Amino acid sequence: MPTNEQRRAAAKRKLERQLANRAERARKRKQITIAASVAGVVVAVAAGTIVWFATRPEPTPPPPFYRNSTDQAARPVEKPSEDKDKLPKGTVKATIETNQGPITVNLDADKAPYTVNSFESLAKQKYFDGTNCHRMTDSEGLKVLQCGDPTASGMGGPGYEFDNEYPTTDYPADDPKAEQPIDYKRGFLAMANANGNAGSNGIDHKGTNGSQFFIVYADSKLPPQYTIFGTVDEAGMATVDKIAALGVVPDPTGQTTQPKEPVTIQSVRID
């Protein structure tokens, strides 16, 4: 028979085992609770991330530089690529072959990359081939030969339009100097706008560039609202001088007139 002392010792050991078991169970419950809490936080963060990605607003893409115009294209062409990595850079040489002789030009893609890009694209699509230079002015302060309209009406374009570049972009939008005449030097190659008429009056010319361009054959004065995208070299200016020397068709009304001898662009080659 166990003595009272032995029974007390056995009871004590049993109690100690019970207390140890309770402590172990409590420790495990705590571990599980912490793990579950961490998992809950991870799940909550992940769920929140998924919801944010699913509901965040898509960034608004920038508007295209080449926009569809309201007028139908004079000739069907594809709009130029707007991939910035594919825009021309530096000086691009081109030859405008005409029935009066070649006009060789240097296009300035550093100052007017989108304009040069459009001119290149139209040339490669043969948009200019067989078109007449429909306008020439010989008034004081404005001496230009204007080309690039397949309709020869001054109203034709490629079915898209785009904003001005240099020198317009050198002026703040609200700068009154942007409407004051500056020098457009002999040999400048620039874009016509405002329905294709270089030197026409209007409020917003800046977004109406298309296919029409003009060559300045003597120093002229225009507000800086006509993108200068290149120059005609001296060999090319010899052809332009020949055309200018032939004169313009007399116009008793004093309105815009045309070269006395037809000037037909046979092709434009990007050299």
The reply to whether 223 and 129 lie within a common domain is yes
The reply to whether 200 and 95 lie within a common domain is yes
Domain range for 34: 1-56
The reply to whether 22 and 120 lie within a common domain is no
What digits encode the pLDDT tens for the residues 212-257? 999 999 999 999 999 999 999 999 999 999 999 999 998 877 677 8
The reply to whether 93 and 219 lie within a common domain is yes
CATH code of the domain in which 238 resides: 2.40.100.10
The reply to whether 145 and 18 lie within a common domain is no
pLDDT value for 39: 46
What digits encode the pLDDT tens for the residues 69-127? 999 999 999 999 999 999 999 999 999 999 999 999 999 999 999 999 999 999 999 99
The reply to whether 179 and 102 lie within a common domain is yes
Is 61 within a domain? Answer: no
| Residue 28 confidence class, pLDDT cut points 50, 70, 90 | low
Count of domains for the chain: 2
The reply to whether 185 and 259 lie within a common domain is yes
Q: What is the DSSP string of the chain?
A: ---HHHHHHHHHHHHHHHHHHHHHHHHHHHHHHHHHHHHHHHHHHHHHHHHHHHHSPPPPPPPPSSEE-SSPPSS--PPPP--GGGS--SEEEEEEEETTEEEEEEEETTT-HHHHHHHHHHHHTTSSTTEE--EE--BTTB-EEEE--TTSSS----SEEB---TTGGGS-TT-GGGGS-EEE-TTEEEE--TTT-TT---S--TT-B-S-EEEESS-EEE-S-S-EEEEE-HHHHHHHHHHHHT-B---TT---B-BSS--EEEEEEE-
